[in-house]
Structure formats: structure tokens, C-alpha cells
Structure 1
Amino acid sequence: METIKNIEIYELGSPEEKSSPWSSTILILKLTSSDGRVGFGEAPTTMMTLPVKESMNEVARVFQGKNYFDIEKNLRDYYRNAFYVAKSVEETAALSAFEIASWDLIGKNLGSPIYNLLGGRFNEKIRGYANGWYSDCVSPEDFVSKAKSLVSRGYSAFKFDPFGSNYDKITVDGVKKAQEIVAQMRSSLGEGVDLLIECHGRFSPKYAIMAGKALEEYNPLFIEEPIHPELERFLPEFRARVDIPVALGERLLNKEDFARYISDGMVDVIQPDLTNSKGILEAKKIGAIAESFGISVAYHNAFGPVQTAATLNVDYTLPNFLIQESFEESWPSWKKNLFTGYSVENCTMALSGKPGLGIEVNEKLLENSKVSGMEPLGTEPPWVVSGTFKP
């Protein structure tokens, strides 16, 4: 029987970088099996580094010595011992890391990439969109200039947050500035480029509708988290009044959450995060639920290279795949070089086809990038792109 023999948890980062999920700390899990294979997983941080890390130690107590093929059983064994897992992102994030690493071991054991074990390739090409690219952008000209530099490298889809420091409410001037940014992006880049509007769940319903209606004419591919996440009951009203598809999902933790949002008419595009919603198999199940309602999938992917590789393995298999988030252009060098095995070129993302996740670690960089403690905190919220939370 192939079991999990050794469990190592790495907190990695660069101490001088301010807190942000795409440039500061990440948590990498390394499982070594009784047959000598190594599998990698990843858990998100975002102001949760130490709580998630400690939760990974708790999950390790359940997974230690278990057969890594028994993914459903091992997840359920943890679930029955836990009590708050349905609402605890620390626990689901930790579980996700172990689930992903288990799949990596399974694929390597069988000599197959994970996507072949999930139904094989449905999508030959995975179209990516750029995020994190607009640091220090405030004026419309700032946004357009940086976007054009990525267009020259093949990108044709951009997500960005044009709302400055407006939070909860948005002023008339705030609406005007956001409209000017999106208008210039559209006129300068043309109709062949997709614009994805990020709200970061920052608005109360009235102001979300105000902001959304101002951007309709620029034909965004979707608008993400327009309303505070705890006010989800207002999403059907937003969808009825604003003619832009609504996307969300990075804060939802399981397939049951997604089933409720989808069946209650709250969303047009779902964005599960494999590193906080219980991993690869749950992501595949969530995708199937969405498919049965005619809903597209665009997985959230804002953390590190193991997350990207795991996500791409599922992307390949989904008939209802829409587009894939990529922060790779905005990563610091240590994160870019930590793993090899997938590529992001000309707005297309691709795996190596090697067994498991399809990636290989730089062991020296893994050891040299260790940090401890919480991620550094800057003057802006860690969920915004640096230099953009300004009036």
C-alpha cells in the first residue's frame, strides 16, 4: 500500500516585499510517500499565513500514514473530526494543499499527468488573462500604457480594478474616474481585447449597481465580486439591473456553496480557487455543477506555481472552461523560478505533460526562500495591486 510517509511545510517569501498574495508569502506542502515519490501542494496566505500553516499541521495528523490514493476517504476522515470546516478557509486551504499533493503522487505513481486521470484533454489551448500588471496605475493613461506593453507580448485579456480608494460607497467623481479608465482601455486596445472588471467585493448593493451601470457600454467580459460577499442576496438584483456578467467564487469553500449560488441565480461565471475549496477533485465537481446550469468556469489563481499547475490540469478537462487568471508576469523572480514545467506565452498557458502536476521544484531555491512569521503589511490593503488604492 502506497502511504504518506513524510510531511514538510514550507513558508516561502521575500521579507522586503509588502503583503500581497502574488508577491509575498506562499505555503508549499511536500509529501514524501512510502515508495519514495514526492508530491507538492500549496495553500493561500493573504493575511492568513500563520493560521493556515498551523491548520496544515492539524491536517497532517489525519493524513500521516494514509494511502494517498484514497482522496475522498482522507478528506472525509478530516471532515468528521473537524467542526467548523464548512466555514473555515484556514481548514479548507490546508486540506486543499494535501489534496493537490496527493494527486501529484497519484499521477507520478501511475506515470500520467493528472488531467488524463480526470477525463483527458477537452481544451487544447488554455487562454490566460493578465492580473497584477497595473501596479501604480492611477490615471487612464497609466493603465493603457502598461496594458499595451503586455499586448505587445501577446496578451488579449486584462483584469483590473479601476475604483481607486472607493470602498463600500463610491462617489460621483469615483464613478467618473472608473468610467474614464475603462473607456480609454476599450478605445485604445480595441474590441478584440477582453476587459475584466475587478471590484474585490468592496461595494454595498446600491453603489455596486451605480458603478456597474456606468461600465456597461464598454462590454466587459465580466465584473467580479461587485457586492460585499456577505450581502450575496442582492446579487440577483444586481444581475437584473446591470448588463454585465457577474463572476465570483474565490471566497467560496466547497461545492455546496457553489451549488447554492448557481441555483439561486447569483452568478454568471464561477471562479473557484483550488487552494481554498478542497483541491482538484472538488474543482472538477464544481465545474460539473456549473456545466449543468450553463455556467462558465474561470478559476481564481492568484498565489503560486503549484496552484497554477493544479488549476491547469483541471482547465484542460472542462467543457465549460472560459479563461484562466495569470499573475506570472507580476511575480518576483524567486517565485517565477521556484518550479518549472508549465509555460505562459502569448496569452496561452500550457503544461509539460509530465506525470502528476507536471512540475519540478528547484530544491535550492525552496530551501533558500524560507521565511517565518506573518507577511509584511503595507499602507494599502493586501488585496489591492500596489499603488492603486488612491483617490
Structure 2
Amino acid sequence: MKIQTVEAIEVAAPADELSSPWSSTVVLIKVTTSTGAVGWGEAPTTLMTHPVRASVPEVARFYEGRELIDHGTGRREFERYSFYRYHSMEATSALSGVDIACHDLIGRELGTPISTLLGGRLRERVRAYSNGWYSDCIRPEEFAAKARAMVRSGFSALKFDPFGDQFRELSPQGLRAASERVAAVRRAVGPEVDLLIECHGRFLPSAALRAGLELDQYRPRFMEEPMIPEYNDSLVEFRQRVRTPVALGERLLTAAEFASYLRRGLVDILQPDITNSGGFSYGREIAGVAAAFGAPVAYHNAFGPVQTAATLQMDATLPTFFLQESFEASWPAWKK
């Protein structure tokens, strides 16, 4: 059975429906074999829909015509002939989508879940945290009301960005507003619910440090990407002075990068994304790094339903699984 075609299929929000630019488009990867069998993957766009879609045929040429069972050689050929290798997130997103689709095909042909192909399940259920629930919240009481609703729906962990339009610098007023929002959520949901603080990698080290020290009092379970990635060496000092653990990883694309961050003491909780870091094939290598360091893994999962389904297959096999990101409660109808 050979890989015959690799296609990118763009699915987007209806023109009359308001949608976040992060979630308004999904690029599905359809791999069809010589027997007509079809497998599906997903390539996240991360505000770069056109470059990701254009990368798919460039990656496809390493796979089309190969035996499905040998699809891993396509990845090796990509590594050999792609000059930028894993330094182009658009290319690695396309590569990941193809890899996921190939695993989907093999699982379908064998009649077995992908988790079995990855070594078997270590768990039947995973704990999820909700994200995206606060998108229209500004005032502390709005954050609190939405947080209570999410807890009532069954979530015991919530992630949110309390920093509004603050960028690079964090003004005294901006820090106070963020603190008031987190305080309101903590009061609303009580001490047993885990709060996860999203920073979106947008602060200078000094601003990130002030945010971490201020929000420590609310006992967040982690702070995600507290500073601009180019300054991540400063996370050593951040982790020395701030009690809240650091989570990151959605911008890291290789097992070597994750190993480097762990060796240098820059991170506590890893957040790889299997749809931009090589799919299941490379995902296993990153999971191996996490296991070797004893690092908890909480996969990044901010895009579409195929990504979610694939990520859950990885979750089931992880020795150091921690939490799973979930946007499903906030998805628009077209994405469901």
C-alpha cells in the first residue's frame, strides 16, 4: 500500500461568524493510499494559514509514492534535503500533519488505536483544563462568573491570561488589574481548583519577574511562557525567585530543544505540540526526553478536533502525563 496523494484542506469559520484569528481556520491533511484508504492529520496555522498550506506540497513530495509502512523514511528525507530542517514552524506543521495522517491510516488498517502503535495505554482517562473560556472577560467579576461556570461544568483546572493588552512592559496599573482578576477567580472557585496563568510569551524578563512575584500569592499551578522567548535564559533567575512552576514548549520543535531547556534549568512543565513538532514520530522522542528528566508533560492543544484526537492518543501513553489543554467548551459550532 503506497502513499498516493497528500492534500491540504482548509476549513474556516463562516464569513458572518465572529471568531478569534487563532481559531478561525483549520488546515486538515488528507493522505490517500493506492488502495483508496484515507487518513487524517492536522497542521496548525498559528496566524500563518497561507504559509502552512503552501508548505504541504513541499513536504508531500518526500512522502508520495512511498510504502505507507515506510513513511518514516519520508521524514528522514525531509531532514536531509530541507535546508532549514526543524527551524520553520510552517514546514514542521505540514510535516506533523502528514505524520499524524500516516499513523491514522496504519491504525485503521490494523484496526487498532494509535496508542497501541505507540506502545500501549498507561491510562484510560486524562485530566483536562479549560482554556478559551475568558475571551470576552475584562472586569474581575466577569472572569469570576465565567470561571464558576466552567467549574460547574466539570473542570477542576482553568487557564487564562489576566494581562489584557500589556506587552513587553507591565505597567503598575496593568499588574494591579491582572492581580485583581486572578484574585477574583481564586475567590470564585476556591482553593482546590488549579489556576494556570497564561502569559503568551510577551514580557521582558523584568516584567515577567514582577508578574510572577505578584501572582505567587494565588498559588497558580504554573505560569506559561512568562517571557519573550528570546530572553528565556532569564528563566533561570525567574525560577529561583518565583515559587510558581514554569510551563512552556509550544514554540519548541525538537527533542534536542526540550533536552536543552531541561538541562539548563529553564522549565518545569513541558508543553509540546505534536502538530508542529513532527507528529507522533517525533512526539515519541520528545516524550522520551521528558521521561528521562522526569518532567511533567501537558500538551499544547489550541486548534482543531483532529489535533485533539491525536493528542489524546499521545496522552494515553505518556509516563509523565500531567494535564491536557482543552478548548472544546469554547469551540464555535462549525468546529464541533
| CA distance in structure 2 between the partners assigned to 1:123 and 1:79 by the alignment | 33
Aligned-pair identity (%): 52
Structure 2: 5+ residue stretches without partners: none
- For 1:333, what is the secondary structure of its paired residue? coil
> How far did residue 7 of structure 1 move?
2.3
The residue identity in structure 2 corresponding to 1:6 is T
Q: Counterparts of 1:220-299 in structure 2 under 5 Å?
A: 220-299=220-299
Match of 1:3 in 2: 2
Match of 2:205 in 1: 205
Match of 1:124 in 2: 124
- When normalised by structure 2's length, the TM-score is 0.97
Q: Counterparts of 1:179-190 in structure 2 under 5 Å?
A: 179-190=179-190
The residue identity in structure 1 corresponding to 2:7 is E
| CA distance in structure 2 between the partners assigned to 1:136 and 1:225 by the alignment | 22
Match of 1:322 in 2: 322
1:248-283 deviation line (CA, Å, top 9, x unaligned): 011111111111111111100000011110111212
- The 8 Å contact of residues 56 and 95 in structure 1, kept in 2 or not, is answered as yes
| CA distance in structure 2 between the partners assigned to 1:248 and 1:322 by the alignment | 13
| CA distance in structure 1 between the partners assigned to 2:207 and 2:5 by the alignment | 51
> How far did residue 13 of structure 1 move?
0.3
1:95-115 deviation line (CA, Å, top 9, x unaligned): 001000000011111111000
Match of 2:61 in 1: 61
> How far did residue 72 of structure 1 move?
2.7
Whether 1:21 and 2:22 are equivalent positions in the alignment is yes
| CA distance in structure 2 between the partners assigned to 1:234 and 1:72 by the alignment | 37
Match of 2:143 in 1: 143
The residue identity in structure 1 corresponding to 2:258 is F
1:167-199 deviation line (CA, Å, top 9, x unaligned): 101011111111111112112211111100000
> How far did residue 292 of structure 1 move?
1.2
| CA distance in structure 2 between the partners assigned to 1:155 and 1:249 by the alignment | 23
- When normalised by structure 1's length, the TM-score is 0.84
The residue identity in structure 2 corresponding to 1:7 is V
- The 8 Å contact of residues 123 and 319 in structure 1, kept in 2 or not, is answered as no
| CA distance in structure 2 between the partners assigned to 1:105 and 1:18 by the alignment | 32
- The 8 Å contact of residues 6 and 98 in structure 2, kept in 1 or not, is answered as no
The residue identity in structure 2 corresponding to 1:110 is L
- The 8 Å contact of residues 19 and 46 in structure 1, kept in 2 or not, is answered as no
- The 8 Å contact of residues 201 and 226 in structure 1, kept in 2 or not, is answered as yes
Q: Counterparts of 1:297-336 in structure 2 under 5 Å?
A: 297-336=297-336
| CA distance in structure 1 between the partners assigned to 2:271 and 2:6 by the alignment | 29
Higher relative contact order (CA 8 A, sep 6+): 1
Q: Counterparts of 1:51-200 in structure 2 under 5 Å?
A: 51-200=51-200
Q: Which runs of 4+ in 1 moved over 4 A?
A: none
RMSD: 1.1
Match of 1:359 in 2: none
Structure 1: 5+ residue stretches without partners: 337-391
| CA distance in structure 2 between the partners assigned to 1:38 and 1:260 by the alignment | 37
> How far did residue 294 of structure 1 move?
1.6
> How far did residue 324 of structure 1 move?
0.3
The residue identity in structure 1 corresponding to 2:139 is S
| CA distance in structure 1 between the partners assigned to 2:131 and 2:104 by the alignment | 27
